[in-house]
Structure 1
């Protein structure tokens, strides 16, 4: 077995890359990932990417913020230090709404950012890694896993027929910027 891990097809045009995806999928060749310098409409559906579950995390963090905000106000105003100010109740629910709302928004936003960074492995100190250095500049890259697709000549011919400017074999998993 060779050291080749990925076969990279480099395209100069996004339409050629989309045509390359269609050709590979028509021949039952699984695509590892696509790397583009700009967003391309419809590529997620073509690759079969599942929708993000970030809204679920947002709801969970928002519910946690609501519970924590209300619990903090209840504990401080009604349980720990109840004060009788002008005969008003110790648990004035309408007065709790602004603080509870703000804590909900704060924890929801911070929780979504933390979840996004954790899920995408974007933590401080990590070196940026890409398959091909030109993928962030002007090239559209299709990465095909070489271990799952053993007929490398077929993959290379399909990529070149679709309009690939360059087809290369990547022996390392990623190329570092350093």
Structure 2
């Protein structure tokens, strides 16, 4: 109860677009098949679904998922389904999550991020792909660990004062 409360400025729609595009470009990087590389699109999409559910919704999640499916040359719709379910879950709990501290938020969003990894995992197994190993699911845990850092970085532009003044407490 004693932690400081910040009055945030309205988010710039161009910053939302820039952050989602940057996350998409990070997912396009040739990391190889190394486990533990987070899905940056899922992380940033979850952040904006929690903080701005009216601006970033399930339609944007579906479109980003389709783009990821095309990039990965995977079954068309598996990431789209995962991101849409992630978006639905985030929008459902967004009011409660914002009242929690960042460490507690990490535990609340972890099942959503892990679920977003399980959906393509199960779809690939059902379509007859080879079992990728349980290490595939580590990515969701890595994303959950990165949640406080992503929250801090994506809220920086909103914490700026429009006219800084040394005598004003807010």
TM-score by length of 1: 0.30
Compare relative contact order (CA 8 Å, sep 6+) and give the higher one, 1 or 2: 1
Question: Quick check: which has more Rg, 1 or 2?
Answer: 1
Of Structure 1 and Structure 2, the greater helix share is in 2
TM-score by length of 2: 0.32
